[in-house]
Amino acid sequence: MEKIVEIRDLKVDAGKKEIIKGLDMDIYANRVNTIVGPSGGGKSTLLRCLNRLTDLEPGLKVNGKVTFQGKDLRDYDDVELRREIGMVFQRPNPFPMSIYDNVAFGLRIQAKVSKSVIDAMVRDALEEVGLYDEVKDNLKRQASTLSGGQQQRLCIARALILRPKILMMDEPTSSLDPVSKGRVEDLIRGLKEKYTVILVTHDMSQARKVSDYTNLIYNGKTVASSEGTEFSDIEDQEVKDYLGELAE
């Protein structure tokens, strides 16, 4: 398996509290890399380190070495990095504009492309997330009129239009109903053909459904990682208890 991201001894300090305390992790290309762990354990912060959204929060001190495609994350230009590492958030966050404009947004600010290319790429992105047939007749409609599940797929399309290397998803189904959740999970499985997926979840059953490689983060550290979702080498009793709770 090809490693696309290597994280070594990552520490994130929020002044009063250390959120991530020397974390190691490998992310494998064209796999669904799942990160599970209790809430408040540093999962979201880890994602924000990878596309350097943490730059926006001057209160956070980030230390350690993270390489993406063999190059230190800090040597990337932040804007370019975020083009190559897309992100989908916990709650769908469509911008208050039309469906079409939402999907085209990243392309318009990042690329010099003609109207017809934008049209084609918007369509491609919407097709990739299986939304095109549902919205093709009213692309000019406000994105906020879509259902929650549709909005989340729209947000995925919005990230995919930039053709990222990695798509990070921060508990993308936690605010969705079971049916929409299923659709997004199906979608995630399909995405790994073209993209590397990093999925944060606290839902073990979801991890079982989609995960190729699972990392367990507990208390700011990676305590276990394995192919599939079975962890065998855990010794810490606290972590075992947590896993037991998850399994129930």
109 near other proteins, rule: CB under 8 A: yes
Residue 21 sits in the site that holds other proteins (CB under 8 A): no
Query: Is 246 near other proteins (CB under 8 A)?
Result: no
> CB-based burial of residue 1 (10 Å sphere; 0-12 exposed, 13-18 middle, 19+ buried)?
exposed
User: Of the candidates 3, 117, 138, 228, which one interacts with other proteins according to CB under 8 A?
Assistant: 117
Of 113-121, 136-144, 203-211, 237-245, the segment contacting other proteins by CB under 8 A is 113-121
Residue found under tokens 């590492």: 85
Instruction: Establish if 43 lies at the interface with other proteins (CB under 8 A).
Output: no
Alpha carbon 38 to chain centroid, angstroms: 17
Given a contact cutoff of 8 angstroms between Cβ atoms, the answer to whether 21 and 11 are in contact is: yes
Does 93 sit near other proteins (CB under 8 A)?
yes
Task: Kindly list the strands in the beta sheet with 213-218, ordered across the sheet, starting from the edge strand earlier in the chain.
Answer: 85-88, 166-170, 196-201, 32-36, 213-218, 221-227
Single residue of 31, 43, 83, 153 touching other proteins by CB under 8 A: 83
Tell me whether residue 99 is exposed, middle or buried, using C-beta atoms within 10 angstroms of its C-beta: 0 to 12, 13 to 18, 19 or more.
buried
Judged by CB under 8 A, does residue 132 bind other proteins? no
Residue 23 or 104 with smaller CB distance to other proteins: 104
Q: Does 84 bind other proteins (CB under 8 A)?
A: yes
By beta-carbon proximity to other proteins, the closer residue of 58 and 244 is: 58
- The answer to whether residue 105 forms part of the interface with other proteins (CB under 8 A) is yes
Closest approach of other proteins to the CB of residue 51, in Å: 6
Stretch that binds other proteins, among 22-30, 107-115, 180-188, 239-247 (CB under 8 A): 107-115
Distance of alpha carbon 211 from alpha carbon 219, whole angstroms: 21
CA distances from 236 to 55, 94, 108, 226, 232 (A): 33, 41, 49, 16, 12
Residue 41 burial by Cβ neighbours in a 10 Å radius (0-12, 13-18, 19+): buried
**Bridge partners for 34 per DSSP:** 199, 214
Q: Considering beta carbons, is residue 8 or 71 the nearer one to other proteins?
A: 71
Q: Which residues form the interface with other proteins (CB under 8 A)?
A: 51, 53, 56, 58-59, 77, 79-80, 82-84, 86-87, 89, 91, 93, 95-97, 105-106, 109-113, 117, 120-121, 124, 155, 158-159, 162-163, 165, 194
